[in-house]
Amino acid sequence: MDLFMTVLFLFFLGSSFGWLLELFYRRLFSAKKWLNPGFLVGPYLPLYGFGLILLYFLSNLSFARLPNKIWQGVVAVLLMGLALTLIEYLVGLFFVFVIKVRLWDYSGEWGNLQGIICPKFALFWTALAALYRFLVHPFYLRAVGWLFEHFAFVFVVGMFYGVVLVDVVWSFRLLAKISAFAKKKQIAVRLEELKKEIAERATKNKLGQFLIALKERSRSIVDSLQDYFDNLLKKVADPPKKKKRKQQTESPASSEKTGEE
């Protein structure tokens, strides 16, 4: 029971603080605007929740066989950074090739693998792992102790999971629409670009970004997907010269048919 509650608490903290981290990263470095990260509506990112659970258990491993504490810390941090990068790759792989939605895109980064992971963000994950092991982990152990002393806080965690469950069901229904569209058009939708398109559309239509009805939101999603695909078609369309060559190669065949008739 204690282990179960610890895992739930870990996921709660990791998802919430991870969302804050990504929110400010997008505002300061990436999109340069306030943009809700992830595919869920609420302020939480499950990827960070699972990542924090993994960090917690890896931090409890013993590296006593290594010669000194410096090597023990280095190997532990590298292992945790590698584990976080692996989680990012597996999640990204699933969404790109199964759901046909790209949650993030590292295609422009050096050394990227399928646009899902890259050395730059693997370094960021490793830095977060070091921060957790040396600063956060001791504090978290005390926080878990506080949780079991103030068991009423469990109801707050329970409410969190209730909201997340509703959010996941609704968001996956929305993702199903996007996935069906992407599979039909044989593309992978970049979620960040889609969100920007929706935000711009909402602003132009003078719709409140946080008070849009679910029906209007779904309609905005579909319209934005169509605009997104139309813009994508312009980028991948054949140049006019190639189309003329195709017409020229087809013309003799058509003339023979007319001659036979």
pLDDT for residue 261 = 45
DSSP 238: P
Q: Which one, of 229, 227, 233, lies nearest residue 199 by Cα?
A: 227
Q: Is residue 109 part of a domain?
A: yes
Amino acid 21: pLDDT:
94
Q: Is residue 22 part of a domain?
A: yes
Query: Domains in the chain: how many in total?
Result: 1
- Can you give the pLDDT at residue 190? 86
Q: What does the pLDDT read at residue 95?
A: 94
pLDDT given at position 213 = 47
The token pair that represents 232 in the structure block: 């994508």
Q: Which one, of 137, 133, 129, 125, lies nearest residue 69 by Cα?
A: 133
Q: Which residue type, as a one-letter code, is found at position 124?
A: F
> Does some domain include residue 194?
no
pLDDT at 207: 45
User: Among 125, 106, 115, 105, which Cα is nearest to 192's?
Assistant: 105
Q: Tell me how far apart the alpha carbons of residues 81 and 177 are, in angstroms, rounded to a whole number.
A: 34
**Residue 45 identity (one-letter amino acid):** L
Residues 6+ apart with CB under 8 A from 144: 6, 9
- Is residue 188, in this structure, part of any structural domain at all? no
**CA–CA separation, 143 and 141 (whole Å):** 5
Q: Which residues of the chain have pLDDT under 70?
A: 1, 147-148, 151, 201-261
**Domain that includes residue 41, residue range:** 2-175
Handedness of CA 67, 70, 76, 82 (dihedral sign): negative
- pLDDT for 211 equals 44
Q: Exposed (0-12), middle (13-18) or buried (19+): which is 86, by Cβ within 10 Å?
A: middle
193 in a structural domain: no
Render pLDDT for 197-235 as a digit per residue (tens, 0 to 9): 777 766 665 544 444 444 455 556 666 666 666 665 555
Strand, helix or coil for residue 67: coil
Structure tokens at 89: 């790759």
Question: Is residue 208, in this structure, part of any structural domain at all?
Answer: no
Taking the whole predicted model, whether its pTM rises above 0.85 is answered as no
* Residue 205 to residue 218: CA distance in whole angstroms: 15
- Separation CA 214–CA 5 (nearest Å): 33
In a domain, 82, yes or no: yes
pLDDT at 222: 61
Q: Specify the pLDDT at position 80.
A: 96
Please report whether residue 55 resides in a domain.
yes
Distance CA 154, CA 140 (A): 16
